[in-house]
Amino acid sequence: MSQVKKAKHVILIGFDGLGAYAIPKANMPNLKKLMEGGSHSLEARTVLPSSSAVNWASMLMGAGPTAHGFTEWGSKTPEIQPYEVTKYGLFPSIFSVIRDQNPDAKTAVVYSWEGIGPLVEKDAIDVVYHGETEELCMAKAIEIIQEKETKFMFLHLSEPDGVGHNIGHDTPEYYQELERVDAKIGQLLDAVAAAGLTDDTIIMLSADHGGVGKGHGGKSLEEIYIPWIISGPGVKVNHEVKDLIMTYDTGATIAWILGLDMPKSWRGKPVLDSFK
Ligand SMILES: [Zn+2]
């Protein structure tokens, strides 16, 4: 596993409302290239409810909602008293884990949904960028990649959730949106390659929830199953992870890749089966 530790950069791409159910049927060549070049599960699981803020928080905070306190789709403050808060004011996330243990490592969060803002420890992050559009977010993320200085970046993009709500999941329009999602994955992979960072960068891709009909938040597997994809140095190639993956394992996996200790209050586990 020593090769993993050579990764100089980790990029986590989160697509809001990208249901794992859709991926086998979708025309997503770049996403499938990432899957074939790395490890994946299409049966990673959300926490409940299968909604946005509660799941983004869990992904970044390595624990579930009754630990970190964010419990709803649009939680801006914890509805449950967190088990602990860091000096940055929230339950510990991967950002404070990095800042506290490796202060020289630069981090970034780039997001298109304003609801991400209240979930991240802004004073522990070097670049906090809220873009009004996905295009602005993509441009910022690519700029950050080109600068080659950021150890960990979380990029949140709002689609395909909007199409899921407005037109419906598992519709032709949803699959058309997934082609646009895939084009963005291609742009990011191209930017990493153009910066000469492909061999130094671990790319992770996931979602906060899937969906059914025009919504999500419920208990169907279409809402619960999220993609979990990882690719880069030290990662098994063309490998399907059969172990249970919970969304809070994402934060734990990033900490493990970067050689950092997890807070004792975290409940996520690194997805070790994805590594050589
Ligand atoms: Zn969402």
- Ligand 1 centroid to Cα of residue 56, in Å, is 8
pLDDT of residue 150: 98
Residues in the chain, pLDDT under 50: none
Against a cut of 0.95, is the pTM above it?
Answer: yes
* Concatenated DSSP letters of 200-224: GEEEEEEES---BTTB-SSSSHHHH
With H, G, I as helix, E, B as strand and everything else as coil, classify residue 142. Answer: helix
**Residue 14 near residue 59, CB atoms below 8 Å:** yes
pLDDT of residue 1: 55
pLDDT of residue 4: 84
Pairing assessment for the beta strands 150-157 and 127-130 based on DSSP bridges: unpaired
- Ligand 1 centroid to Cα of residue 196, in Å, is 32
pLDDT of residue 117: 98
Domain 2-274 sits in CATH at 3.40.720.10
pLDDT of residue 192: 98
- As given in the structure block, the two tokens for residue 241 are 């992870």
- Ligand 1 centroid to Cα of residue 190, in Å, is 26
Parse the chain into domains and list their residue ranges: 2-274
pLDDT of residue 3: 76
pLDDT of residue 6: 79
pLDDT of residue 5: 77
**How far lies 38's CA from each of 32, 53, 166, in Å?**
10, 27, 33
**Residue 274 near residue 235, CB atoms below 8 Å:** yes
- As given in the structure block, the two tokens for residue 153 are 């970046």
- Ligand 1 centroid to Cα of residue 113, in Å, is 9
What does the DSSP 8-state code read for residue 275? B
